[in-house]
Amino acid sequence: MNETWTIVGNCPMGCGQTLFVADGGYITCSFIRCARPTAVADLLEDRETEHIVQFDADTFTVRHPLRERLDDALLACELHEHIAGLDGPPVQPGRYRARAVGQRWTWEACAHDSH
């Protein structure tokens, strides 16, 4: 028997309460016009739990870990402010995994795809 399990929660693409457990256990959106029905499954497959920072010559971008969405921790994250307050990039241009170690940040070069 092939059962369908409804998921409590909303599709991150804005479709509403349209999630269900599809074949293989993947959480999927049932809305036919969903731009990315596998968004939840894709997010859950991401193994990265640290900040990923892309440094370019004059700019930087921070990808925050999903856990920072809980309790609005993202709004209190000190990494962006720390980097913005530096005279320049702390490392050569590239992609880095940032980890807080005590009162400082460490930088580990990482591949472009961190899944």
pLDDT at 107: 97
User: Which DSSP string corresponds to 31-88?
Assistant: -TT-S-TTHHHHHHH----SEEEEE-SS-EEEE--GGGGGGGGGGG-SHHHHHHTSSS
**Model pLDDT for residues 16-61, shown as the tens digit of each residue:** 999 999 989 999 999 999 999 999 999 999 999 999 999 998 899 9
As a whole number of angstroms, the distance between CA 114 and CA 75 comes to 23
Encoded amino acid at 104, one letter: R
**Model pLDDT for residues 77-102, shown as the tens digit of each residue:** 999 999 999 998 999 999 999 999 99
61-67 mean pLDDT: 95
pLDDT at 68: 93
Give the residue with greater pLDDT, 72 vs 112. 72
pLDDT at 3: 65
pLDDT classification of 103: cutoffs 50, 70, 90? confident
pLDDT at 1: 47
